[in-house]
Structure 1
Amino acid sequence: MSHWQVSKLCLTTSNNFCHAIFNHSSYMTFTLMGIPGLESQHLWLSVPFSSLFLAILIGNGAILFLVVTEPTLHTPMYLLLALLMTADLVSTLAVVPKLLCIFWFSDGDITSGACFTQMFFIHGASVVRSALLVAMAFDRFVAVCKPLHYNTILSYSLVAQLGLVALAKGVILILPMPLLLQRLTFCHTVVPHTYCDHMAVVKMACSHTRPNRIYGLFVILLVVGFDLLLIGFSYALILQAVVRLHSRDATLKALNTCSAHLFVILFTYVPALFSSITHRIGRNIPPHAHILLANLYLLLPSLFNPIIYGIKMKEIRNKVTKCLCRST
């Protein structure tokens, strides 16, 4: 009997049957549906997603390579940028390969262990990315408000500590999610999604899921709410310092220093907030719109981050230009 048949039979029998069949994580296998309602278009959808995947790998990999190999880029700002690119690559590699397997080969089967591992890396990378954006906001605050003390305040040891704090935050906040899921009884194994999103998997359970939902909401509020509060506070101080500048050129230079980071914040938080809100209250939104948005909110920041920093950061533009000139 297939897992799909067992899942259907579970709906018409007692909860004890569900518990007996699905309680053991070693037995469970979820099936990722892909994009509900667009199954016939999966092959066509694989074209933009595979192109997106390739662009993310090239863009983030190129900037990460430049920062690592160029001694002139070993500054706090670029080291934090390298960590951000790493988080973007981890998030992308956790999502897209399985997505393409679904689109190309209709292979959506994933064991519970692999599903929970994918969930940990996807959501963990998102938390790390958010924490790094807070660290980069602090970097911009020091660069604008205390430029003479920049190298003293933002030492290499502090950058390393900020990176470790971001990593620890991702692990500590996200690890309870798969651990809490392991206690649940699952009556459904077909997940209407392209990856093991926390709330999508929680909805497959037929046991008490209130702790899972509360903890998921707590993480969103803590990460998005608290991190945005810290970023907003940093930029309030930056704006206060900019207003005091009497030189127009100095004002424009200060604003240009922060522009790349502001664009990255926009592309990171706006889709994430919209996806989270619609996932909980947007009942009239078609399922395929939910899933497409959930994928884009993970992948768009990874796509645009290297583009934004490549355009806005003069040092990166110069290094890319030199590399292209050497290859021609």
Structure 2
Amino acid sequence: MSESDVVTRHPGVLNVYLRLMKLRVVLLLQVTAISCLIVHDLLIRSGVLTGLRPSFTDTILSSIVVVVGGTLAAGGSNALNMVWERDLDPLMERTRNRPLPAGQITPRHATVFGIVTAVLGTLIVSLPIRGEWAIAAGFWTAFSVLYYVLVYTIWLKRRTPQNIVIGGVAGATPPLIGWAAASATVPFSLDALLLGSSIPWVLATLIFLWTPPHFWALSLWSQSDYEASGIPMMPNVHGVGRTLTESKGYGVLLMLLPLGVLFASSDFILLVWVAIACWMGAWYLGSIISIPSTIQLGQRSPQALASFKRSLTYLGLMFFSIVIAAAATLFRI
């Protein structure tokens, strides 16, 4: 078998579908949704929040539905994103081997797959696992899909260096979806869209504020890629100095954000979590401050890469720790 045969061999339709969905990114989003769902159920069981007490079976079934439905919906969004950006992907080193530029699937095929997958995922998230259709969860799922595809991908990404900021709204919805799925125990009302607690909104805002410094750190590490594609990322348009200034601003807001949980409860264990979460925000902010403002365009900064990696650790710890805090409320003396 010649080398050219190996290079051009089709990886298989299933493999192409999975690559279109960008499962590694999607699964991180589902972790935040499931964390919020579990926090809701634990706080109801412990009496910190009021509501219909869920069984462990309810929690497990709802988690499965949210993971499966959320993965399909977000994966479909990613597929549609790749269809729209098939002219840009060949210009960047990290995206040039995606299925569309590699000729492994046609744009029409990928579009149909993306739409069907996103719609199916939205319907699954809405299933009446707890007695009522989870319409609020379905609404936030559909909102996320439409916002990501229409507002971020098609409208903003090529037009403004604030694309990541405004587009981050879509990535912030999984905690809302998880909480809405867990609270679907009564007939739907417009109030259900507000979710009845500040906790899911704090966690959604966490992702929203986390997104710009997270992606800007990556863009500082790979500025040349974005410059070659013409995508107006903050460092390429306004320079390193302004990028770092705005990143630090988001870092400060992240450090203060956990205080919003106090609007939901003054439970002692949650107060401890607030203190720890504020400290973790300061820890993440430190990595942003360490990025030198003297980085030159096209220069790879190890501090930027380190901040990017710490941002992932920070996000994971924030959601893991609030689940542990919510579980701890079950064992208060």
TM-score, structure 1 normalization? 0.36
Larger RCO: 1 or 2 (CA < 8 Å, sep 6+): 1
- Structure ID, larger Rg: 1
Q: Comparing both structures, which one devotes a greater share of its residues to helix?
A: 1
TM-score, structure 2 normalization? 0.35
